Amino acid sequence: MQANATIWQADSLVRAPGAVHCLGGGRFSEAVLGATGSIVQFENVGLRYGTGSETLSDLSFSLREGGFYFLTGPSGAGKTSLLRLLYLAQRPSRGLIRLFGNDVAATPRKLLPPFRRRIGVVFQDFRLVPHLSAFDNVALPLRVSGVPESDLRGTVTEMLDWAGLVHRAAARPATLSGGEQQRVAIARAVIGRPELLIADEPTGNVDPEMATRLMGLFDALNKLGTTVVVATHDLHLIGRVNRAEILRLDRGQISDPTGALRHPPRRREI
Ligand SMILES: Nc1ncnc2c1ncn2[C@@H]1O[C@H](COP(=O)(O)OP(=O)(O)OP(=O)(O)O)[C@@H](O)[C@H]1O
Ligand SMILES: [Mg+2]
């Protein structure tokens, strides 16, 4: 883990020398990512729950490092299932998944945590730790990565302030509204500047103004180099990031109406 000297500031993200340690240190070298610059590669991936038919079938695609992807598709299409494969909560029934250049489908379970720490996840059902305050939930990724208490206090407070939650810092999740819980979940997912941010319907419980604000945060993170994958039904949200690429899932099959998978755009200058 390396200190990458990053600090959060309200409404904008800036890099400031010597500010604070963050998760997801070493950025994306070609050696780690492979020659293609892909951060995720799926080859003939299938996922079957139990003995029924496959929920996901023959998924073959790659996501380029630094890309911004929206994952769309009807309810039950398999969006959450695909994201679970991406953040290593689920193993595929078949096929190959490479993440950060590593074959994670074959990696023993006990070796997965270092990969997971490079990924920020906003779960569809939030998954906040119930006995921890909003502050402690947001601080969790920094504590896990060993950031000293004196360094993380200001960063977490700044993040809560940005999310409009400073006055709720001491509240337990059960006493927060759905929208407040969602904002805590997002703050927790992004505070460590992950290399890969995965968000499952991240604005389902917030008003349109907050949704725009949250997308602004994802946008800013992406401009700093984080690869972003957002599952959503919300077409307005998709329109907010005009460089984003769209992946569509339907009955376990993926398509790319914007051609993102077949014709990856040239890498942006960050
Ligand atoms: N743990 C599980 N065990 C068995 N079946 C599951 C499990 N999780 C999901 N499924 C099934 O897989 C299919 C895809 O579900 P998934 O949650 O991935 O869809 P989704 O596209 O995220 O839907 P939504 O838009 O409603 O969130 C559904 O038919 C669902 O019932
Ligand atoms: Mg879902």
Q: Give tens-digit pLDDT for 189-247.
A: 999 999 999 999 998 888 888 888 888 889 988 998 999 999 998 888 888 888 899 99
pLDDT of the residue at 260: 64
Q: How far apart are CA 258 and CA 225, in angstroms?
A: 21
Mutate to test the pocket of ligand 1, among 49, 70, 82, 122 (most ligand atoms within 8 A of CB): 49
Whether 133 contacts 172, CB under 8 Å: yes
Q: How far apart are CA 30 and CA 196, in angstroms?
A: 16
Q: Which residues, other chains included, contact 254 with Cβ-Cβ below 8 Å and sequence gap of 6+?
A: 59, 61, 82, 247, 248, 261
The Cβ of residue 270 has, within 10 Å, a number of other Cβ atoms equal to: 9
> Can you give the pTM of this predicted structure?
0.83
Bigger pLDDT: 208 vs 170: 170
pLDDT of the residue at 52: 87
Q: What is the DSSP letter of 177?
A: -
Mutate to test the pocket of ligand 1, among 45, 51, 81 (most ligand atoms within 8 A of CB): 81
* Residue nearest (by alpha carbon) to ligand 1 atom 18: 78
Q: Is residue 28 pLDDT above 50, yes or no? A: no
Per-residue pLDDT, averaged over 167-192, amounts to 95
pLDDT of the residue at 23: 26
* Residue nearest (by alpha carbon) to ligand 1 atom 30: 76
Distance set, CA 144 to CA 10, 15, 192, 258 (Å): 24, 22, 10, 38
Q: Is residue 163 pLDDT above 70, yes or no? A: yes
- Distance, CA 82 to ligand 2 centroid (Å)? 9
- Ligand that comes closest to the CA of residue 234: 1
- Distance, CA 247 to ligand 2 centroid (Å)? 14
Per-residue pLDDT, averaged over 53-57, amounts to 94
Residues lining ligand 1, Cβ inside 6 A: 49, 55, 73, 75-81, 124
